[in-house]
Amino acid sequence: MKKILYLTFFFAFCSYAAAQAPNNAQKYLYEVSYLISYQPDSTDISTLQKDVLFTLLLGDKMSVYVNNEKIKLDSILNGIENGSIASTNILANMSLMPKPASNAKIFKYYDKQIIAYNDMISAQNYEYTEPLNIGKWKVHNDKKVIGSYTCQLAEIEYGGREWLAYFTDEIPISDGPYKFNGLPGLILAVTDSESFFKFEFIGLKKNSSFDLNILFAVGNKYEVSKKEFFRIREDFLTNPIPYMEQEGAVFDNANKKKVKEMYAQRKKRNNNPIELKYCRMY
């Protein structure tokens, strides 16, 4: 298991080492915090993950949505790269390393009208784009208060699921958690019809407390179609060894077996992806 942890660190560092922050000469308006609950295994309620913290940073031209543990991990990797943190200290305390619920960074570009989804498969960054318009919302008259904001109900079909969302026109920014956007105000809560996924607003503040260079940094990336991204990820989860060996990992037969078993179990436990439509293709 320790060798597998070292491999995880190695692949994360390799991915970050070539990271670059895009030019973000723009005004950032708000930092929005959401708590996410999700059930990775649709057949086992005990797999429910609660209170996972994500941040949506809203700018005047774009936004980025990312897991807070991913931000912490990238901050450590950045410290190792610039020499302010000794890698030997990290390797001696691997159990203390942040463990992101997701390595993905979701960028919404308002002017280009696209969503860019960046995520790591093995040690490589992949990115696909899709239209910013994710579908047609149906707005209802139902209202409720979330925090101090009066919100209105809307629903949409996206990614093979039906979603219910509450948005507020008191914050007139057409954005929200994950890829959700397109309503006349900020989305503060979203849940799917089966309650496997829940996004809940917990706070908003002006400007950002994060290092923007780290928040926006992505490694050298392979640009692929959305369909190709899901195909590659499925192939990796089915047989990760060739991908890892390509990045320089060396396994004996016993460790190959352990790694394959670990990923097989991980795949079995994660049978309930947020976008069923694409995962059902493979």
Predicted confidence at residue 153, as pLDDT, reads 98
Q: By percentage, how much of the chain surpasses pLDDT 70? A: 80
What value does the mean pLDDT take over residues 126-131? 97
Three-state DSSP at 186 gives strand
| Residue 248, pLDDT score | 84
Phi then psi dihedrals of residue 214, to 5 deg = -75, -40
105, β-bridge pairs: 66, 118
State CA 187 to chain mean position distance: 17
Question: For 50-54, 103-107, 213-217, which range has the lowest pLDDT when averaged over its residues?
Answer: 213-217
Whole-structure pTM value? 0.87
Question: How does pLDDT run across 235-281, given as a tens digit for each residue?
Answer: 999 999 999 988 888 888 888 899 989 998 988 899 999 998 876 55
Strand runs (DSSP E) across 104-185, as ranges? 105-109, 114-121, 124-131, 138-146, 149-158, 161-168
The residue that leads in pLDDT, 173 or 73, is 173
Please state, in angstroms and as integers, the Cα–Cα distance from residue 54 to each residue in 12, 64, 213, 236, following that order: 19, 10, 18, 26
Is residue 24's pLDDT more than 70?
Answer: no
The domain spans of the chain are: 2-227
Q: Is it the case that residue 90 has pLDDT exceeding 80?
A: no
Residue 54 vs residue 84, higher pLDDT? 54
Give the rounded percent of residues in the chain with a pLDDT score beyond 90.
59
pLDDT at position 123: 84
Over the stretch 91-103, which tens digit does the pLDDT of each residue have?
556 667 788 899 9
Instruction: Determine how β-strand 221-223 pairs with β-strand 124-131.
Output: parallel
Res. 23: pLDDT tops 60: no
Q: Which residues contact 12 (CB under 8 A, 6 or more apart)?
A: 73, 77, 120, 123
Q: Rounded CA gap, 232 and 244, in Å?
A: 13
Residues with Cβ within 8 Å of 57's Cβ and at least 6 positions away in sequence, in order, are 28, 30, 31, 32, 63, 64, 65, 208, 210, 215
Q: Mean pLDDT, to the nearest integer, of 132-154?
A: 97
pLDDT value of residue 171: 95
9: tokens are 């660190």
Q: What is the mean pLDDT of residues 193-217?
A: 84
Q: Is the confidence at residue 76, as pLDDT, over 60?
A: yes
Average pLDDT over residues 137-156: 97
